[in-house]
């Protein structure tokens, strides 16, 4: 019986030492979003590694990409680069520098949202990493300078030293690899030589991007649309509007709208799977009216003065050649994610 007593004592000692404990230094401090709705996605901070030394190849050189795979295209001073979703599905952030402009290409595979962040707003223009935390299933990047946590779709620092700071963004175009390649055959595309061993041809989330399931709870579910419908969300004057990409015509559609007290032009194509929004009012006070131009990609629209504009809102031909349309506060996301962040969003018909 002595042995039983010994084992009982050991067990008692284990029990007394088994009070629930947790030790994690990543998430302390005040949050601007409900902390009880922030979830640890599982991988942990930097468990999904950002690409910090991106290598690029000619756009036609990606043998693993399918024509319909989506890419995030950017145009900084004429330097055109594409970042494929199949790489960002595994890394979520690419820290890049183009023509001296420091960028973080952020992409959340769970909310399908891609936004190019300007890193100038962070401490020492620092790079961003994946915190492993999610709010409304959406990526929470952290900046490596201050370890502050930022909400991607809220475009704001929500925890840490820089809490409350808003992030500036750059224009991007998400479209299919085929469309991008046809529009910009001389552009560069992110190489799979990322420094990490990943299966970039394999989508890591199974049937997630097409089914109606979520992986984490969101604060609000809006069932007016299928959860994974891709929409271009527009924010203006405290209001939000969503444009369903599949509702645009197969070639290209242009919508001249007034929303939230501002004038916008919204372009999109269901066939080529892109959508973008720009401000129609120029610095000189002129408000332009746009119509489509067909079969001239990357030119997609012509204004009432005869200037042709490309998909990035750059005037290419005509009297205003060289001018740019201002970026609207807009980005593409899965409907459920957009609706969770921006309740009462109008859906454009």
Partner 1 sequence: MIILLLFIAEESFPQACCSAGSPLLGSLDVSSASQGELQIGLTYELNSLQDVYAGTVRLDDDLRERRVNSFLLEVNYGLTGRISLTALFTFINQSRNIYSLGDLSSRLNTGGLSDGIILVKYNFIPLSLIDQIELTLGVGAKLPIGNSTLRSDGILVPADMQPGTGAWDGVLWGYFSKGFVPALPLNVFLNVSYRLNGTNNRFGDSFQQGYTFGNELFVNLGAGYRTDTFFDFTLMLRFRNTTPDKFDGGQLPNTGGNWLYLVPGVNGKISDNFTARLSGQIPLYRNLTGTQLTTTYSASIGLFYSINLIGDQY
User: In sequence order, what are the beta bridge partners of 230?
Assistant: 334
Name the segment binding partner 1 (CB under 8 A); options: 62-70, 185-193, 213-221, 327-335: 213-221
Fill in the per-residue mask, 224 to 253: x = in contact with partner 1 (CB under 8 A), - = not in contact.
Answer: ------------------------------
Q: How far is CA 346 from the centre of its chain?
A: 21
At closest approach, how far in Å is the CB of 230 from partner 1? 18
* Residue 217 in the binding site for partner 1 (CB under 8 A): yes
Name the segment binding partner 1 (CB under 8 A); options: 94-102, 191-199, 281-289, 291-299: 191-199
- Exposed e or buried b for every residue in 233-244, given b needs 16+ CB within 10 A? bbbbeeebbbbb
16: three-class secondary structure by DSSP: helix
* Residue 5 in the binding site for partner 1 (CB under 8 A): no
* Residue 208 in the binding site for partner 1 (CB under 8 A): yes
Name the segment binding partner 1 (CB under 8 A); options: 118-126, 162-170, 197-205, 328-336: 197-205
Q: What is the DSSP string of 141-190?
A: EEETTT--EEETTTTEEEESTTTTPBPPEE-EEEEEHHHHHHH-TT-EEE
Is residue 104 within 8 Å of residue 121, measured between CB atoms? no
At closest approach, how far in Å is the CB of 19 from partner 1? 6
For partner 1, the closer of residues 20 and 284 by Cβ is 20
For partner 1, the closer of residues 212 and 344 by Cβ is 212
Token pair belonging to 309: 């504009």
Is residue 92 within 8 Å of residue 139, measured between CB atoms? yes
Among 198, 281, 326, 329, binds partner 1 (CB under 8 A): 198
Rounded CA separation 104/129 (Å): 9
- Exposed e or buried b for every residue in 20-34, given b needs 16+ CB within 10 A? eeeeeeebeeebebe
86: three-class secondary structure by DSSP: helix
Among 120, 211, 246, 249, binds partner 1 (CB under 8 A): 211
Fill in the per-residue mask, 110 to 149: x = in contact with partner 1 (CB under 8 A), - = not in contact.
Answer: x------------------x--xxx----x----------
Fill in the per-residue mask, 307 to 346: x = in contact with partner 1 (CB under 8 A), - = not in contact.
Answer: ----------------------------------------
Residue (of 237, 295, 284, 244) closest to 264 by Cα position = 237
- Give the footprint of partner 1 on this chain (CB under 8 A): 1, 3-4, 7, 10-11, 14-15, 17-28, 31, 35-36, 38-49, 89-90, 92, 109-110, 129, 132-134, 139, 196-199, 202, 204-208, 211-217
């Amino acid at each position: 019986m002595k042995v039983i007593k010994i084992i009982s004592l050991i067990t008692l000692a284990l029990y007394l030492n088994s009070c629930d404990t947790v030790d994690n230094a990543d998430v302390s401090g005040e949050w601007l979003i409900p902390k009880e709705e922030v979830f640890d996605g599982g991988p942990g901070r930097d468990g999904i590694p950002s690409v910090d030394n991106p290598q690029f190849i000619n756009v036609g050189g990606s043998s693993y990409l399918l024509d319909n795979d989506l890419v995030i295209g950017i145009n900084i001073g004429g330097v055109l680069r594409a970042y494929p979703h199949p790489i960002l599905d595994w890394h979520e952030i690419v820290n890049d520098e183009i023509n001296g402009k420091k960028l973080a290409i952020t992409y959340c595979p769970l909310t399908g949202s891609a936004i190019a962040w300007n890193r100038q707003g962070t401490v020492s223009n620092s790079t961003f990493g994946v915190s492993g935390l999610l709010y409304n299933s959406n990526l929470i990047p952290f900046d490596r300078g201050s370890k502050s946590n930022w909400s991607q779709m809220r475009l704001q620092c929500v925890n840490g030293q820089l809490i409350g700071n808003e992030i500036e963004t750059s224009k991007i175009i998400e479209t299919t690899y085929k469309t991008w390649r046809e529009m910009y055959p001389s552009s560069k595309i992110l190489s799979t030589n990322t420094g990490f061993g990943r299966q970039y041809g394999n989508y890591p989330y199974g049937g997630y991007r097409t089914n109606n399931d979520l992986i984490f709870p969101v604060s609000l579910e809006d069932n007016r649309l299928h959860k994974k419908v891709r929409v271009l969300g527009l924010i203006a004057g405290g209001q939000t509007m969503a444009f369903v990409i599949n509702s645009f015509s197969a070639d290209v559609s242009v919508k001249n709208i007034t929303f939230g007290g501002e004038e916008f032009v919204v372009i999109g194509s269901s066939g080529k799977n892109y959508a973008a929004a720009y401000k129609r009012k120029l610095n000189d006070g002129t408000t332009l009216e746009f119509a489509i131009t067909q079969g001239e990609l990357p030119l997609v629209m012509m204004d009432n003065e005869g200037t042709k504009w490309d998909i990035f809102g750059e005037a290419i031909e005509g009297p205003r050649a060289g001018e740019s349309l201002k970026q609207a506060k807009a980005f593409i996301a899965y409907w459920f994610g957009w609706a969770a962040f921006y309740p009462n969003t109008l859906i454009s018909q």
